[in-house]
Amino acid sequence: METADFIETLRRDGELLADFAVLAGWGTAVPTCPGWQVRDLVAHTGSVHRWAAGYLAGRTQRTPIESCAPKDDHALAAWFRDGHRELVEGLTAAPADLECWTFLPAPTPLAFWARRQAHETAVHRVDAERALGAEHREFTPEFARDGIDELLAGFHVRSRSQVRTEQPRTLLVRATDGVPDTEQPSAWLLRLSQEAPCVERLADPSGAPADCTVRGPSAALYLALWNRGRYEDLDVTGDASLVELWRRASAV
């Protein structure tokens, strides 16, 4: 996907998140984020947007995410929309050769922040949908596969991943739908151990050995792996305890 595509997805999903939050009500529970109410969801996402936007000016050192949401619920929607708009405009105006701090591999820092914030906002848009009880707006297979790749080959190869096993095990994640971009992998083989997972991208997963295989459409896999979807909607074969491990330990 191109950076412009991620920025457009970020724009759309941020606007939807705000709309759903207002309709749901600030005190409504968010089923996909136990312990959170809608105000917590909006405060978190809005604070992340402002944190990310701060790097677009060229900040080269990591800074902590600080909650800066207003205490007054009546001001929350406008505050969120202002920060979201600042982030979208900052990404749109940023130079291609932007230099700033990042924390996952990417072609450029600009590509990193556009991608990361698109997926951050997309997942939390789903949270707002679930709080409202609204009909789910589907992700494209291309976007979903990219989000799977970021999660598996980006976040979970880092030392902080808690998806670990006492004995070596393998988990195969396989998308069953096609996408126009043939450069995207169709499957990911996770080699689990007492260390952080090793992830192998596969263009052709046929014949890849695995203790557990999870198959399904890209969008359904995306939601399940980010703990926003149901594994009952997927085809799980082999050792299902690895799926339970993922549910328990994969939060990032």
- The predicted pLDDT at position 232 comes to 93
Q: Give one DSSP letter per residue of 147-177, joined into a string.
A: HHHIIIIIITTSTT-----SS-EEEEEEE-S
Q: From residue 109, give the alpha-carbon distance in Å to each of 4, 18, 84, 236, 241.
A: 14, 27, 19, 36, 37
* C-alpha 20, offset from chain centre: 19
Domain regions of the chain by residue span? 3-132, 150-249
- The predicted pLDDT at position 208 comes to 81
- The predicted pLDDT at position 106 comes to 96
* C-alpha 83, offset from chain centre: 19
- The predicted pLDDT at position 179 comes to 67
Order across the sheet with 169-175: list the strands.
Answer: 198-202, 187-192, 169-175, 212-216, 235-238
Cα dihedral 194→190→119→30 (10° resolution): -60
pTM of the model: 0.96
- The predicted pLDDT at position 181 comes to 58
CATH topology of domain 150-249: Nonspecific Lipid-transfer Protein; Chain A (3.30.1050)
**How far is it, in rounded angstroms, from Cα 247 to Cα 243?**
6
Kindly give, in sequence order, each residue whose CB lies less than 8 Å from that of residue 225, ignoring residues fewer than 6 positions away.
148, 151, 152, 173, 246, 250
- The predicted pLDDT at position 182 comes to 62
Q: Enumerate residue ranges in the chain where pLDDT < 50.
A: none
* C-alpha 206, offset from chain centre: 27
Q: What does the pLDDT look like over 214-234, one tens digit per residue? A: 999 999 999 999 999 999 999
- The predicted pLDDT at position 76 comes to 98
Q: What does the pLDDT look like over 191-203, one tens digit per residue? A: 999 999 999 999 8
Q: Which CATH number fits domain 3-132: 1.10.10, 1.10.1790, 1.20.120, 3.30.420?
A: 1.20.120
Among candidate residues 123, 122, 250, the one with its CA nearest the CA of residue 196: 250
Q: What does the pLDDT look like over 72-91, one tens digit per residue? A: 999 999 999 999 999 999 99
Among candidate residues 151, 130, 135, the one with its CA nearest the CA of residue 32: 130
